[in-house]
Amino acid sequence: MTDYKREKEAGDRFSLHDAHIIAMDVDYDSGELRLVPQYGFVDTASDEMVDGEVIVTGVPPEDSYIYIMEYKNVLTGNVGGFVGEKMTLATFLDAFHSKFKAMDIMSTYHGYKNCFITGFLSRGDEDLEIYMDIFYRGDFIYRVREK
């Protein structure tokens, strides 16, 4: 029997935790998904916020799914009852700019060609919980603007 230790990926240098996403779009021809934070994301090497955006390539919008939960009689994010909806990434992106102010990312998990993003959506005076299950065939790129 052989043991294999999971090594940190190079992508662990950046974290989307606390990123406040104000724009999100996909180029359907190239399959490029773009997430634009208002004030950047965390560079874990320096423990500082950096300005930039995230580009995910090779995203088939019909094979990626979004789950939105609206809590009932309990504060969003706590244990309790909720109602929800599952939709494709394409359907969600069509509604993002018209129905939601922004998305605050709490965590990002990576698997093989899959990214799972959790956070909260702002809709009027209420917050909704969101889970994004993004399948991609290309790369997950943190595009950092130089100072």
Per the model's pLDDT, the better-predicted residue between 20 and 146 turns out to be 20
Q: In what order do the strands lie in the sheet with 65-71?
A: 82-88, 65-71, 126-135, 114-123, 102-111, 20-27, 32-37, 52-56, 140-144
Lowest-confidence pick of 51-65, 73-87, 107-121: 73-87
Counts for the chain of helices (H) and strands (E), in that order: 1, 12
At residue 104, the pLDDT reads 94
The mean predicted confidence, pLDDT, of the chain is 88
At residue 28, the pLDDT reads 87
* CA-atom Rg of the chain in angstroms: 16
Q: How many Cβ atoms from other residues are within 10 Å of residue 69's Cβ?
A: 18
- Kindly provide the b/e burial profile for residues 80-115, where b requires at least 16 CB atoms within 10 angstroms of the residue's own CB: eeeeeeeeebbebbeebeeebebbbbbebeeeeeeb
Q: What pTM did the predictor assign?
A: 0.85
pLDDT tier for residue 124 given thresholds of 50, 70 and 90: confident
pLDDT tens, residue by residue, 20-58: 999 999 998 899 999 999 988 988 888 899 999 999 999
Please tell me whether residue 70 adopts helix, strand or coil conformation. strand
At residue 120, the pLDDT reads 93
